Amino acid sequence: MSVMDEYNNQASESFWEIGKYNRSVKRIENGSKLCDSLRQLIETRSDIEKSYAKQLSQWSRKWNDFLEK
C-alpha cells in the first residue's frame, strides 16, 4: 500500500462517523508531544550556543592579551 493510498483511505473516513474521531484525538496528543520535544530541542541548542559563545569570548580575550604584549 502506497502512502497516497493510505492518505485516500483515511480521507474517506469522516470525523463525524462513530469511532472515527480517534485519529483527531491522536493528532492532538501527538501535537502536544511534538511541541514538548521541539521546546526541549531549542533549549538544548540554546545551552550549547551559550557555552560556545562563552568559550569564544574566553579564547578571544586570551589571544588579544597575548597580541597586545
| Ordered DSSP codes for 6-49 | HHHHHHHS-TTSTTTTHHHHHHHHHHHHHHHHHHHHHHHHHHHH
Q: What is the pLDDT of residue 16?
A: 82
Residue-number span of the structural domain to which 37 is assigned: 3-68
- pLDDT per residue as tens digits for the range 31-69: 999 999 999 999 999 999 999 999 999 999 999 999 987
Q: What is the pLDDT of residue 9?
A: 60
Report the number of distinct structural domains present in the chain.
1
Nine-digit cell string for 51: 557555552
Rg over CA atoms, the chain: 25
- pLDDT per residue as tens digits for the range 18-34: 888 888 888 899 999 99
Residue with cell 597586545: 68
